[in-house]
């Protein structure tokens, strides 16, 4: 354990993330606990309806439905499965993402091909995406240096930190090469494209995370939305052992049939009602929580803009501001490494993180595809100089100012 992580146990420590859970969430949980039915039923159904309705307000293609699941990882797995991804297929994913985005492809017997970041961005590069899809469709390996081969079947753009990818470009490339588009919207509720369309409604399916640090949390959980009802039906079937959902009430409703049929070999990926009840309250708070995150991020932007040592994260009007990935410029990193910066901040009781360690550097993928770091120069550059600062709705201005003071202190001689 580092000195820094010990310091975080003290009362004045500022955690990296902290969920905003109030009395309404507590009452919602109690209501479900007292109902005598804890797992998936009416609360989950209501959460699905309310979530889909919320996204539908500004969507060009409103969701035909939503399916609540146990995590975004489960949702990505099911969404790819519903799009028919399997052996012989390649799923194109950014290198700059969490393990989930790629592992789900491999779990389905497909391969993952990594895409580098765009210039000065944490988001995937459309040119690199097009080039990789073209190489694969010509029967070549994903990169000149090697990598997976197979049919390009799906792409998973990641709305990193709540900033929406250029979905027009991604969709155009997907159309040209016959790929499904599954949006990894784990960070992106509520986020919007440049045209004001909700992230998660811009592909064949969108997948959200309700993990404890996310913008809307149920502790653990996720949601799949799609404009295609067939995808929602398939996800709903496969999240519950391949058993039709109509039997969820077989224990609670005296008149319900005990009989069920296993239509497919499915998974156990449902969201329990206790968690869905928290999600329904969080959904109603979403705009308020976004406003609070924006106000902290604006404070950081003002403090770190313009000087020689730091670059503030790229942002846009519809940014959900889930993360604050500050970048250290060479004027600073020549004197102190990113890792030392992390330790120094932790030592002062400030919880920080690094988003992300690029997946192409991970031993499993490096060995499986014999990957070369030189194929992902922008992801490597982004990783080498990023520090994610605390950004959560309950943070006070005073806490944000302490973070600012400690970060600016890194640049003092």
Ligand X SMILES: Cc1ncc(COP(=O)(O)O)c(C=O)c1O
User: Catalytic positions, please?
Assistant: 214
Piece of 68-76, 164-172, 244-252, 273-281 that binds ligand X (CB under 6 A): 68-76
> Which is nearer to ligand X, 159 or 402 (by Cβ)?
159
284-296: b (≥16 Cβ within 10 Å) or e: ebbeebbebbbeb
Q: Which of 101, 149, 215, 282 lies at the binding interface for ligand X (CB under 6 A)?
A: 101
> Which is nearer to ligand X, 147 or 162 (by Cβ)?
162
Q: Are strands 111-115 and 151-155 parallel, antiparallel or unpaired?
A: unpaired
Binding to ligand X by residue 209, rule CB under 6 A? yes
* Per-residue x/- track, 154-183, ligand X (CB under 6 A): ----x-------------------------
> Which is nearer to ligand X, 100 or 193 (by Cβ)?
100
Binding to ligand X by residue 184, rule CB under 6 A? yes
Binding to ligand X by residue 279, rule CB under 6 A? no
214-247: b (≥16 Cβ within 10 Å) or e: bbbbbebbbbbbbbbeebbbbbbbbbbbebebeb
Q: Which of 206, 222, 279, 313 lies at the binding interface for ligand X (CB under 6 A)?
A: 222
| Cβ(172)–Cβ(184) below 8 Å | no
> Which is nearer to ligand X, 35 or 212 (by Cβ)?
212
> Which is nearer to ligand X, 126 or 163 (by Cβ)?
163
198: which strand partners? 192
Binding to ligand X by residue 143, rule CB under 6 A? no
Q: Which of 211, 304, 376, 392 lies at the binding interface for ligand X (CB under 6 A)?
A: 211
What's the rounded Cα separation, in Å, for the pair 160 and 324?
11
What's the rounded Cα separation, in Å, for the pair 226 and 229?
7
Measured between alpha carbons, how far is residue 297 from residues 300, 342, 403 in Å?
5, 19, 12
Element at 386 (helix H, strand E): strand 386-389
Kindly state the smallest distance separating residue 75's Cβ from ligand X, in Å: 8
Binding to ligand X by residue 149, rule CB under 6 A? no
Kindly state the smallest distance separating residue 179's Cβ from ligand X, in Å: 19
Kindly state the smallest distance separating residue 162's Cβ from ligand X, in Å: 10
> Which is nearer to ligand X, 155 or 303 (by Cβ)?
155
Element at 77 (helix H, strand E): helix 72-82
Binding to ligand X by residue 204, rule CB under 6 A? no
Helix, strand, or coil here: 392? coil
| Cβ(207)–Cβ(175) below 8 Å | no
62-85: b (≥16 Cβ within 10 Å) or e: bbbbbbbbbbbbbbbbbbbbbbeb
What's the rounded Cα separation, in Å, for the pair 262 and 241?
7
Piece of 70-78, 105-113, 146-154, 294-302 that binds ligand X (CB under 6 A): 70-78
Would you tell me which residues interact with ligand X (CB under 6 A)? 71-73, 97-98, 100-101, 158, 184, 186-187, 209, 211, 222
């Amino acid at each position: 354990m580092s000195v820094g992580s010990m310091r975080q146990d003290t009362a004045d420590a500022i955690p990296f993330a902290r969920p905003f859970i109030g009395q309404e969430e507590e009452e919602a949980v109690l209501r479900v606990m007292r109902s005598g039915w804890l797992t998936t039923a009416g609360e989950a159904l209501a959460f699905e309806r309310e979530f889909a309705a919320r996204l539908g307000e500004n969507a060009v293609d409103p969701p035909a439905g939503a399916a609540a699941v146990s995590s975004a990882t489960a949702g990505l797995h099911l969404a790819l499965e519903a799009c028919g991804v399997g052996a012989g297929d390649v799923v194109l994913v950014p290198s700059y993402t969490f393990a989930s985005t790629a592992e789900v492809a491999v779990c389905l017997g497909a391969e993952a091909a990594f895409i580098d970041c765009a210039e000065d961005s944490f988001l995937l590069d459309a040119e690199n995406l097009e080039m990789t899809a073209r190489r694969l469709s010509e029967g070549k390996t994903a990169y000149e240096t090697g990598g997976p081969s197979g049919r390009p079947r799906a792409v998973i753009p990641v709305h990193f930190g709540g900033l929406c990818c250029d979905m027009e470009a991604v969709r155009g490339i997907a159309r040209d090469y016959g790929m499904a588009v599954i949006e990894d919207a784990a960070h992106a509720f509520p986020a919007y494209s440049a045209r004001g369309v909700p992230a998660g409604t811009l592909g064949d399916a969108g997948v959200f995370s309700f993990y404890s640090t996310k913008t809307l949390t149920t502790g653990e959980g996720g949601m799949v939305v799609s404009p295609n009802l067939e995808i929602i039906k398939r996800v709903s079937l496969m999240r519950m052992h391949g058993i039709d959902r109509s039997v969820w009430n077989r224990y609670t409703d005296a008149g319900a049939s005990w009989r069920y049929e296993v239509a497919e070999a499915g998974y156990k990926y449902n969201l329990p009602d206790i968690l869905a009840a928290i999600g329904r309250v969080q959904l109603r708070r979403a705009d308020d929580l976004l406003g609070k995150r924006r106000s902290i991020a604006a404070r950081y932007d003002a403090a770190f803009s313009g000087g020689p040592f730091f670059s503030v994260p790229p942002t846009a009007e519809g940014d959900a501001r889930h993360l604050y990935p500050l970048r250290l410029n060479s004027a600073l990193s020549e004197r102190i490494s990113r890792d030392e910066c992390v330790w120094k901040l932790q030592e002062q009781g400030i919880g920080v993180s690094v988003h992300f360690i690029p997946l192409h550097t991970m031993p499993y993928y490096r060995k499986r595809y014999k990957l070369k770091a030189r194929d992902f120069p922008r992801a490597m550059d982004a990783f080498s100089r990023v520090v994610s600062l605390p950004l959560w709705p309950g943070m006070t201005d005073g806490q944000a100012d302490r973070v600012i003071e400690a970060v600016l202190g890194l640049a003092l001689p």
